[in-house]
């Protein structure tokens, strides 16, 4: 059977899924360890990509071309962009955009208005959207699903159950650590969260004609404290994304 491909950028994110994986076999491909086995009852191939769009794109290519995966799930953490979201909340990407693709001039950055179609012949739009059927199945699977509250002593914020938002994730080769940039990503792209891989995986997945499902729990809020919050919360919130992966795997 054709496996589901799973990508995580970092070891903390892999660790959140590894405990649920059975029958693990390991091999090496392009300097990365490929783990094959069963996860939540399905055959999977899982790779720790490393951070950034290039690492993510090459890992997606390995899974889709070499290992013939039928879809890709990217699971991990992100910075929150939507002010309604808190650390520990979660975003599933309906729409993915590469926020650092565009024109850079002395006066500033202009996203996505290049003179040529951005991502290859015939692809004039810069956003990658989940297919309607997949989106409907995801909404149905998440309907009535609640995540357990994170321990207050760990997260240090309100102990409400994490919110799950199906929305827009922006990706770029930059760790967002600035309130003005956070505001720009919200205004220009309507972003709910930012990270450094998802939209690159989506671009590769589209080229292979398979869906990319990006699931991200918020480790920080992308403002001036985001580097501190990221270090504090990455391990605590990564399992939240894993729980949503478990919930969604049956419908993918
Ligand atoms: N992943 C987690 N937090 C992030 C941030 N603030 N910027 C980019 N990627 C992230």
- Residue-wise pLDDT for 115-148, tens only, equals 556 777 777 788 999 999 999 999 999 999 999 8
pLDDT recorded at residue 111 = 73
* Catalytic residue annotation: 13, 220
Contact 172, 100 (CB under 8 A): yes
- Residue-wise pLDDT for 5-26, tens only, equals 999 999 999 999 999 999 999 9
Check pocket membership of 176 for ligand 1, CB cut-off 6 A: yes
**β-sheet bridge partners, residue 44:** 4, 37
151-155, 218-222, 248-252, range with the lowest pLDDT: 151-155
Q: What percent of the chain has pLDDT over 70?
A: 94
Query: Taking the CB of residue 136, how many other CB atoms lie within 10 A of it?
Result: 12
Check pocket membership of 79 for ligand 1, CB cut-off 6 A: yes
Minimal CA–CA distance to 3: which of 75, 73, 68? 68
pLDDT recorded at residue 110 = 74
190 alpha carbon – ligand 1 mean position (Å): 16
Q: Residue 42 to residues 20, 21, 196, 227, 229: CA-CA distances in angstroms?
A: 11, 10, 27, 35, 34
What's the rounded Cα separation, in Å, for the pair 74 and 55?
13
Check pocket membership of 234 for ligand 1, CB cut-off 6 A: no
Q: What percent of the chain has pLDDT over 90?
A: 83
Mean pLDDT for the chain? 92
149-153, 190-194, 206-210, 220-224, range with the lowest pLDDT: 149-153
Q: Is 124 left (phi over 0), alpha (psi -120 to 50) or beta?
A: alpha
pLDDT recorded at residue 112 = 65
CATH 3.40.50.1580 matches 4-251? yes
Contact 193, 182 (CB under 8 A): no
194 alpha carbon – ligand 1 mean position (Å): 6
Overall average pLDDT of the 172-189 stretch: 95
Q: What radius of gyration, in Å, describes the C-alpha atoms of the chain?
A: 17
- Nearest protein CA to atom 2 of ligand 1, as residue: 78
Q: Is 23 left (phi over 0), alpha (psi -120 to 50) or beta?
A: left
223 alpha carbon – ligand 1 mean position (Å): 10
What's the rounded Cα separation, in Å, for the pair 76 and 9?
7
- Nearest protein CA to atom 9 of ligand 1, as residue: 195
- Residue-wise pLDDT for 26-45, tens only, equals 999 999 999 999 999 999 99
Pocket test for ligand 1, best of 100, 173, 196 (most atoms within 8 A of CB): 196
Overall average pLDDT of the 136-163 stretch: 84
Residues in contact with 180: Cβ distance below 8 Å, sequence separation at least 6, in sequence order: none
For this complex, say whether ipTM is above 0.95.
yes
Check pocket membership of 58 for ligand 1, CB cut-off 6 A: no
For residues 2 and 168, the model is more confident at: 168
Check pocket membership of 87 for ligand 1, CB cut-off 6 A: no
For residues 120 and 157, the model is more confident at: 120
203 alpha carbon – ligand 1 mean position (Å): 20
Overall average pLDDT of the 241-245 stretch: 96
- Residue-wise pLDDT for 65-117, tens only, equals 999 999 999 999 999 999 999 999 999 999 999 999 887 777 777 776 555 56
Residue 156 has pLDDT above 70, yes or no: no
What's the rounded Cα separation, in Å, for the pair 96 and 205?
12
Contact 170, 189 (CB under 8 A): yes
């Amino acid at each position: 059977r054709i496996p589901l491909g799973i990508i995580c950028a970092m070891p903390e994110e892999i660790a959140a899924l590894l405990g649920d994986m059975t029958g693990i076999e390991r091999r090496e491909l392009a300097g990365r360890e490929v783990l094959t086995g069963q996860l939540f009852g399905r055959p999977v191939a899982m790779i720790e990509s490393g951070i950034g769009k290039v690492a993510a794109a090459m890992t997606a290519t390995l899974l889709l071309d070499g290992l013939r995966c039928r879809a890709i799930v990217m699971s991990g953490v992100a910075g929150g962009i939507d002010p309604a979201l808190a650390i520990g909340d979660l975003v599933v990407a309906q729409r993915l955009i590469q926020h650092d693709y565009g024109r850079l001039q002395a006066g500033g950055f202009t996203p996505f208005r290049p003179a040529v179609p951005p991502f290859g012949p015939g692809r004039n739009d810069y956003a990658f959207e989940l297919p309607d059927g997949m989106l409907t199945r995801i909404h149905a699977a998440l309907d009535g699903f609640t995540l357990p509250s994170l321990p207050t002593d760990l997260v240090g914020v309100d102990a409400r159950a994490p919110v799950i938002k199906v929305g827009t994730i922006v990706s770029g080769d930059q760790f967002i650590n600035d309130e003005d940039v956070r505001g720009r990503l919200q205004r220009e792209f309507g972003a709910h969260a930012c990270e450094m891989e998802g939209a690159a995986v989506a671009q590769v997945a589209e080229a292979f004609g398979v869906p990319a499902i990006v699931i991200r729990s918020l480790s920080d809020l992308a403002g001036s404290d985001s580097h501190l919050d990221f270090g504090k919360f990455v391990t605590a919130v990564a399992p939240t994304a894993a729980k949503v992966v478990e919930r969604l795997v049956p419908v993918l």
